[in-house]
Amino acid sequence: MPPNRSNLDLSDSDYDEEVDVDDYDGGRKHTGKTKGKELPKNRDMGLGGKDGYSWEATYTRTWDAVQEDEGGSLQNAVEDLLARGRRRRLLAPTGAIRRTIIRHLVILIDLSSSMLDRDMRPTRFDLTLQYTREFIVEWFDQNPLGQVGIIGMRGGLGEKIGDMTGNPQEILKTISDRDKLLPDGEPSLQNALEMARSSMNHLPAHSSREVLILFGSLTTCDPGNIHDTVQAAISDKVRVSVVALAAEMKICRDLCNKTGGAFGVALNEGHYRDLLFEAIPPPAQRANPSTGGSALSSNPSSDLLIMGFPTRIPESSAPSLCVCHSELKRHGYLCPRCLAKLCDVPTDCDICGLMIVSSPHLARSYHHLFPVKPYQARTTIADAAPETCGGCSLAFPVPRVTLSDGSASGVSPVGRYGCPDCQKDFCSDCDEFVHSVLHVCPGCS
Amino acid sequence: MSQSAQSHLTLILDLSPKQWHLSSLEPDGQALSLLSFITQVLAFMNSHLALRHENTISVLGAFPRKSVMLYSTPGANDSGLDSTAPQDANTYQPFKTVDTIVSSRIMEEMESISDSIDSPTGLVGALSKGLCHINRVINPATRSSIESSSPLDPRMLILSVSPDMSTSYIPIMNTIFAAQKLKVKIDVCKIFGEDNVFLQQAAHLTGGSYVALMQRNALLQYLVMCFLASSSLRKIVAFPTHDRVDLRAACFCHKDIVDIGYVCSVCLSIFCSPVPVCSTCRTKFPVKTLRRFGFGPPKAVGNGTSKSGSATPQ
Ligand SMILES: [Zn+2]
Ligand SMILES: [Zn+2]
Ligand SMILES: [Zn+2]
Ligand SMILES: [Zn+2]
Ligand SMILES: [Zn+2]
Ligand SMILES: [Zn+2]
């Protein structure tokens, strides 16, 4: 465990830090994926452990995973699940992973009638929406400066569902309304690809342009020659990846091969998720998967970048010309070096070339660098222990006298969890909240 | 108004003795003493509670190097009301209870401050405690015991007098993102001192508003006009809009607030001047890059003098 740094007691010297890179090695793999990964895993087991196509599988009952105890109560089973989740979180090492600086991704979601197929439960469509939500959260976690847009393929047209944005909440909102996205008609790869390409046209040359297609159909209904679109994508350096839900289509495979993307056909729900989540790490990293501790520090692609943090001009200010489109606009961002007004960040300043990013986007990933130390489950209440929690300042819940091996599973029998640094006691709600959401110890700060 | 949700206000009072002393020394018409501040805030708290019977409040104080929950509306867990106080026919008892508890707690804490008058306030502690409180209160398991069924609409108001605390940049940002996740709006009223970069960002990122007082002696009016309305009402009334938002960050090495920074591409740590090795993740940076930034052996690292000026545009 690296020394606790959550209270930001960083010394002035840049060299005497004692963060052990090896400790961080691949740690992200656990933390990042534990959240949702358990589910598909269990489901795979439900399929009899074989990796067959989902339509070959036998009927599965998810409720089989939860067992009643002798008294016919689910209480213990649920407690056990919670405790196990807790322990997993405590054991998962937290640390630094490689993040790409600026990525741009457009997700093309097939909304044709083939998505209503039920070979993946509940339907391909519902599963896709659910996975896309998880994907977006995880993607932004690992690519904090990235931007994502969503385009749907429905009724032979490309349909803009969410504009390119760096705000995960905004994107999640656009796909939250299931009823607006109900599948219908035929998909058109060409229309949607053209739309995705044009939405990334304005981007600076060095930033990545990626398209991820979630394709359930076996046909595409295009107005022109799709091979022209493929050529255009190649010349624009757009990298196209496809996750097919039905079967391999030659045009999809070609599209990926020619643009340097990945192609995969999902066998079942779990495999679908794995294929989708493979698109989260930046492409460069995937080409060179050796991210061991020593490799990390000598990685040639690690670099020091100069970035500018702009001032945001509100919608209510007087209109002025932007340097990127030469249009009169009210809202914008000022380059800190040359004071040019830019429409959106992250981008490169058109005047002085400085990379302009919003610093909160960077800060979103800092909790991985300086995690809060795990609290220790208290087994007894100390004599001088306060009556209220050090976080929420409310009284501790009345301890329940249950759970025989409470201490072993990391659950405190008295419902108190102590910070190893400030020695304050916290209730289990706060323990959970501090480590999963807040990332600041209320007692230490 | 009737269908609007019960609203929970978390009030964070910045109680730095030094800043309040400076504030009271301002020229006529602009001076605001701590006592007059407390009276006006109490009136504001009472009006929030009076708006709707179910409204709740919690008040946190950020003292030098310390943060304390001063008062929170008694819920299922608390039996806060002291029945010993004599009843006064001319006062509304709940208001009186809030007022006495808050003001006496502030005085208690103020008196216990000894040598640390200059230390930065525990604003981050107050923010994180406030969020923990909100998290526990809106948690359905706990809520069922607190009688009400209408959805809770939590928001936060920070009354700030202290300057930016760049040493706690990362914790502050973490609390902002946590507030975002809990859908808690953070409003900021800057009563005294220069504009606060990180609190501006807090209001901006959570959809709250940042208001800097022009007329300090009209504090109560500002509070009532700007911050009394619940979020459902804010869609209807003309609300103070965002002014410019300063999106600067603090460097990891000196905790200076910078507008141009050097960022490690691996872990995104920010430095105010070029460094050969990232102090956070130990990544070594290519010599070529460092030369381009004008980093050489003769220049001492860490004195922070070679800021943006030495950087060459690409
Ligand atoms: Zn523009
Ligand atoms: Zn510029
Ligand atoms: Zn608590
Ligand atoms: Zn602590
Ligand atoms: Zn510095
Ligand atoms: Zn680094």
The residue with greater pLDDT, A93 or B273, is: B273
Say if residue B75's pLDDT is above 70. no
Q: What is the mean pLDDT of chain B?
A: 82
Contact A234, A259 (CB under 8 A): yes
Q: Is residue B302 part of a domain?
A: yes
Contact B98, B78 (CB under 8 A): no
What is the DSSP-derived secondary structure letter of residue A268?
S
pLDDT for the residue numbered B258: 94
Contact list, A438 vs chain B (CB under 8 Å): 128, 131-132, 174-175, 178
The residue with greater pLDDT, A408 or A231, is: A231
pLDDT band at A73 (very low <50, low <70, confident <90, very high): low
pLDDT for the residue numbered B43: 94
pLDDT for the residue numbered A10: 38
For residues B139 and B67, state if they share a domain: yes
pLDDT for the residue numbered B302: 44
Nearest to A209 by CA among A149, A151, A132: A149
Burial of A50 (0-12, 13-18, 19+ CB in 10 A): exposed
For residues B22 and B97, state if they share a domain: yes
**Residue B256 belongs to domain spanning:** 249-311
Indicate yes or no: CB of B249 within 8 angstroms of CB of A309.
Answer: yes
Mean pLDDT of B125-145: 79
For residues B228 and B291, state if they share a domain: no
Contact A433, B130 (CB under 8 A): no
Q: What is the mean pLDDT of chain A?
A: 76
Q: Tell me the percentage of chain B whose pLDDT exceeds 90.
A: 42
Indicate yes or no: CB of A301 within 8 angstroms of CB of B78.
Answer: no
pLDDT for the residue numbered A61: 53
Indicate yes or no: CB of A99 within 8 angstroms of CB of B266.
Answer: yes
Distance CA B215, CA B189 (A): 12
pLDDT digits (tens, 9 = 90+) for B91-109: 788 888 889 899 999 999 8
Q: Which residues contact A86 (CB under 8 A, 6 or more apart)?
A: A409, A410, A411, A432
Write phi, then psi, for B188 (nearest 5 degrees): -130, 130
Neighbours of A305 (CB within 10 A): 18
Indicate yes or no: CB of A429 within 8 angstroms of CB of B170.
Answer: no
The residue with greater pLDDT, A325 or B273, is: B273
Mean pLDDT of A89-114: 69
Dig out the tokens for A175 from the structure. 């796909």
Which of A370-384, A388-402, B49-63 shows the lowest mean pLDDT across its residues? Answer: A388-402
Distance CA B227, CA B229 (A): 6
For residues B221 and B256, state if they share a domain: no
Ligand closest in space to the Cα of B269: 6
Q: Separation of A343 CA from ligand 1 center, angstroms?
A: 4
Residue found under tokens 């804490």 = B109
Say if residue A44's pLDDT is above 60. no
Contact list, B145 vs chain A (CB under 8 Å): none
Q: Which of A311, A364, A442 has its CB closest to that of B246? A: A311
Nearest-CA distance B261 → chain A (Å): 5
Q: Is residue B87 part of a domain?
A: yes
Indicate yes or no: CB of A353 within 8 angstroms of CB of B280.
Answer: no
Ligand closest in space to the Cα of A351: 2
Indicate yes or no: CB of B135 within 8 angstroms of CB of A429.
Answer: yes
By CA distance, what is A336's nearest residue in B? Answer: B259
For residues B193 and B295, state if they share a domain: no
Contact list, A313 vs chain B (CB under 8 Å): 244
For residues B26 and B151, state if they share a domain: yes
Contact B91, B37 (CB under 8 A): no
pLDDT for the residue numbered A75: 60
Indicate yes or no: CB of A352 within 8 angstroms of CB of B167.
Answer: no
Q: Report the CATH number that the domain containing residue B118 is assigned in CATH.
A: 3.40.50.410
For residues B194 and B225, state if they share a domain: yes
* Secondary element (H or E) of residue A151: strand A147-154
Dig out the tokens for B156 from the structure. 């936060």
Distance CA B220, CA A440 (A): 32
pLDDT for the residue numbered B306: 40
Q: Separation of A157 CA from ligand 1 center, angstroms?
A: 28
Domain boundary among B185, B212, B235: B235
Domain boundary among B172, B202, B235: B235
| Model-wide pTM > 0.95 | no
Q: Is residue B173 part of a domain?
A: yes
For residues B226 and B282, state if they share a domain: no
Q: Is residue B240 part of a domain?
A: no
Q: Is residue B262 part of a domain?
A: yes
Q: Is residue B300 part of a domain?
A: yes
pLDDT for the residue numbered A106: 94
Say if residue A442's pLDDT is above 90. yes
- Write out B2-67 in H/E/C secondary structure: CCCCEEEEEEEEECCHHHHHHHHCCCCCCCCCHHHHHHHHHHHHHHHHHHCCCCEEEEEEEEECEE
Answer whether the bond into residue A346 is a cis peptide, omega within 30°.
Answer: yes
The residue with greater pLDDT, A383 or A248, is: A248
For residues B295 and B226, state if they share a domain: no
For residues B121 and B264, state if they share a domain: no
A96-277: CATH topology: Rossmann fold (3.40.50)
Indicate yes or no: CB of B284 within 8 angstroms of CB of A297.
Answer: yes
Residue found under tokens 């220049």 = B299
Mean pLDDT of A99-108: 78
Distance CA A167, CA A144 (A): 9
pLDDT digits (tens, 9 = 90+) for B243-272: 789 999 999 999 999 999 999 887 889 999
Contact list, B261 vs chain A (CB under 8 Å): 306-309
Mean pLDDT of A168-185: 89
By CA distance, what is B182's nearest residue in A? Answer: A437
Domain boundary among B213, B235, B257: B235
pLDDT for the residue numbered B31: 87
Distance CA B52, CA B46 (A): 11
Mean pLDDT of A341-348: 84
Say if residue B1's pLDDT is above 50. no
Distance linking the first and last C-alpha atoms of chain A:
20
Distance CA B144, CA B7 (A): 17
Domain A372-445 has CATH 3.30.40.10: yes
Dig out the tokens for B276 from the structure. 């050969």
Interhelix angle for B34-51 vs B219-227, to 10°?
30
Nearest to A375 by CA among A295, A324, A443: A443
Q: Which of A312, A429, A433 has its CB closest to that of B247? A: A312
3-state SS assignment for residue A10: coil
Nearest to B266 by CA among A144, A230, A400: A144
Indicate yes or no: CB of A440 within 8 angstroms of CB of B124.
Answer: yes
Contact list, A316 vs chain B (CB under 8 Å): 241-242
Q: Tell me the residues of chain A between 323 and 382 that have a Cβ less than 8 Å away from chain B.
A: 333, 336-337, 352-354, 358-360, 362-367, 369-370
Mean pLDDT of A156-169: 87
Dig out the tokens for A253 from the structure. 């495979």
For residues B147 and B202, state if they share a domain: yes
Contact A240, A101 (CB under 8 A): no
Residue spans per domain, chain A: 12-53, 96-277, 308-366, 372-445
| Strand partners of residue A421 | none
Distance CA B47, CA B311 (A): 54
* Secondary element (H or E) of residue B161: none
Q: Is residue B1 part of a domain?
A: no
Angle at A188 between CA A186 and CA A193, to 5 degrees: 155
Distance CA A255, CA A275 (A): 17
Say if residue B170's pLDDT is above 90. yes
Mean pLDDT of B104-132: 88
ipTM: 0.85
pLDDT for the residue numbered B91: 77
Indicate yes or no: CB of A392 within 8 angstroms of CB of B270.
Answer: no
Distance CA A222, CA A220 (A): 6
Q: Which residues contact B91 (CB under 8 A, 6 or more apart)?
A: none
Q: Is residue B242 part of a domain?
A: no
Domain count for chain B, please give it: 2
Indicate yes or no: CB of A306 within 8 angstroms of CB of B263.
Answer: yes
For residues B66 and B183, state if they share a domain: yes
What is the DSSP-derived secondary structure letter of residue A263?
E
- Write out chain B in H/E/C secondary structure: CCCCCEEEEEEEEECCHHHHHHHHCCCCCCCCCHHHHHHHHHHHHHHHHHHCCCCEEEEEEEEECEEEEEEECCCCCCCCCCCCCCCCCCCCHHHHHHHHHHHHHHHHHHHHCCCCCCCCECHHHHHHHHHHHHHHHHCHHHHCCCCCCCCEEEEEEEEECCCCCHHHHHHHHHHHHHHHHHCCEEEEEECCCCCCHHHHHHHHHHCCCEEECCCHHHHHHHHHHHHCCCHHHHCCCCCCCCCCEECCEECCCCCCEECEEEEECCCCCEECCCCCECCCCCCECCHHHHHHCCCCCCCCCCCCCCCHHHCCCC
Contact A217, A246 (CB under 8 A): yes
What's the Rg (C-alpha) of chain A?
25
State whether the Cα torsion B86-B90-B93-B98 is positive or negative: negative
pLDDT digits (tens, 9 = 90+) for A244-300: 999 899 999 999 999 989 999 998 888 999 899 888 877 654 333 333 333 333 344
| Strand partners of residue A151 | A108, A160
Write phi, then psi, for A395 (nearest 5 degrees): -65, 150
Contact list, A389 vs chain B (CB under 8 Å): 132, 136
Say if residue A94's pLDDT is above 90. no
Ligand closest in space to the Cα of B301: 5
Contact A151, A53 (CB under 8 A): no
Say if residue A342's pLDDT is above 60. yes
Say if residue A52's pLDDT is above 80. no
